[in-house]
A and B are shown apart, each in its own frame.
Chain A
Amino acid sequence: MPQPAKIRIDLNSPVPAYRQIVDAIRVLLVEGRLAPGTALPSVRRLAMELGVHFNTVGEAYRALADEGWLDLRHGRSAIILDRAQRAPAPPERLLEFRDRLRGLIAQMRADGVPAARIAAELKNITEGLKS
């Protein structure tokens, strides 16, 4: 039975709500739990379900469209695109990702998560994201 494609955000998180929505939907897209051609809920419906402003969801959808994940034509639902494999990210983008990862891992270590556990989590996540 396929897993439900659920997203979860925390309004008390320091990460802006729109960024949390983008990140959560991107995970579902990369994991293949949202198939190309299917429609996402309307901005209004998703905003209502999450209890956030319409603009927050609209901004998240536009960010995903800019990344090539969504087709946002006026008057239509947001349709998931069959996104072709992109060329590998340039070195400077990789450096940026590495910095973000280092920051996150440092935070996990500071919160007492053992290094072996972090490595295992990273491996699991990487396996899950192979699409």
Chain B
Amino acid sequence: MAVYQINQEVELKGYWKYFLNKGFWFFITFICAFILNFILPRLMPGDPVAVITQKATQGMQSQSGIQAVYEYYANVFGTNKPITTQFVLYLKNVIHGDFGISFSQYPRPVADILRSSIWWTIGLQFPAIIVGWLIGNTLGALAAYLKKGFDKVIMPVSIFVSNFPAFGMAVILLVIFGVGLKWFPTSGGYGFDLIPNFSWTFIWSVIVHYQLPFWSIVLIAIGGQAIGMRSMSIYELNADYVKYSRYLGIKDRKIIGYVFRNAMLPQVTGLALSIGTMVGGALVAEIIFSYPGLGYTMLNGVMGQDYPLISAATLIVTLMVLAAMFVIDIVYGFIDPRVKAAQFD
């Protein structure tokens, strides 16, 4: 009994060490991403303040008036201060959730624009990626186990689908189900004639608009995951422990359980590592459906040379991806016996 308790304590301690280690690593990464995020857009040639001054002063004659407007905007956006001061200012503001004021949608604060788009992206992408992952792994495992006809169909289709560019899948779904069959609307997150509220009409509209972007992301995810799971399962099915278990006369069903558990683990890591790429593809899919999420916001930012908006949007996406990876890593720590074993060292 006592030995068991000690073991449990050691195990818990091991987990804590694992979490802290992971957490610290993600924090360091986030700091680096934050710095890159601040510096890169500010290296941009051209003066964005001059651009909006030009927009704001169209038709104005007085030179000093234009100068005053320019200085006003430079002051508001803080572009006239040295870059280190800007950074300290930026850091302070970001901690308070203030990302500055948008250039292209002046005087709307960037935080406000992002707040209205981030939930659309989270609501769309994470369910889609997880559903795609689950379906893909099931199909891959089935292909490895059943072989023959099923494998011959699933494999080439998966290879083709996973190589299909995410935007291509989005466009084709849009053309077939949106324009051709008219089953689903082609753009937006809800009907353009509605105001967001908690009525059934609105919720139904959101659900209908959700379908095409959702399935375009799911389909792409399925392909890649199925291929990975298939080769992992084939590898595991040929492993020595499977043969040994067969000699021992363990039931097939039980062996399959072990095999897929083992094949699954690398797929979990695979999900963590590919989530960044998937989010990138999904952002582009959002643009095609004019879905009111971060991808579409970014497009607007690029069009309007809006660097506070771009910078904040990329920061949020990075943060989202990092958070997702952290969660997956934590889950992985619980389910992988090898990680458990390593913690006792």
| Pairing of A with B | no
